[in-house]
């Protein structure tokens, strides 16, 4: 849960680097929250009200952590735009987020694995 809250605390921080664990734990908790809210929405017959509000609320932190994850692999945050290419864009972005980050300092900051207390 701390991984999720840490990303929310860095609400609009697009600089620096994010470890794989930080990105994927945030993605996991975010997915769980969307599923739970969707179930509640369906039960209340208000779908997609709650899900829509939640997705809009976490849009900026989601983009920020994705950009920081790309920075960890040595890529510019602009690579996120490849996700808009039909069929292959999302797959390429998935591969980029799964790859291990650079073990040395890069243009976007120091290795978060080396300085992380987690």
Residue 69: band (very low, low, confident or very high) from pLDDT cuts 50, 70, 90: very high
Q: Is the pTM of this model over 0.95?
A: no
Q: Is the pLDDT of residue 110 over 80?
A: yes
CA-to-CA separations, 68 to 18, 22, 45, 93, 97, in angstroms, rounded = 5, 10, 37, 13, 10
Q: What is the pLDDT of residue 114?
A: 82
Average pLDDT over residues 67-77: 97
Give the span between the Cα atoms of 101 and 73, in whole angstroms.
Answer: 4
CB 93 within 8 A of CB 103: no
pLDDT at residue 104 above 80?
yes
């Amino acid at each position: 849960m701390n991984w999720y809250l840490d990303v929310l605390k860095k609400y609009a921080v697009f600089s620096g680097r994010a470890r794989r664990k930080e990105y994927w734990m945030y993605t996991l908790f975010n997915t769980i929250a969307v599923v739970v809210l969707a179930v509640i929405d369906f039960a209340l017959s208000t779908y997609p009200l709650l899900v829509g509000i939640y997705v809009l609320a976490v849009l900026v932190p989601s983009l920020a952590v994705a950009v920081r994850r790309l920075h960890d692999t040595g890529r510019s945050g602009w690579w996120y735009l490849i996700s808009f290419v039909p069929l292959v864009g999302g797959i390429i972005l998935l591969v980029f987020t799964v790859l291990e980050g650079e073990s040395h300092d890069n243009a976007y900051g120091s290795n978060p694995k080396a300085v992380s207390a987690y």
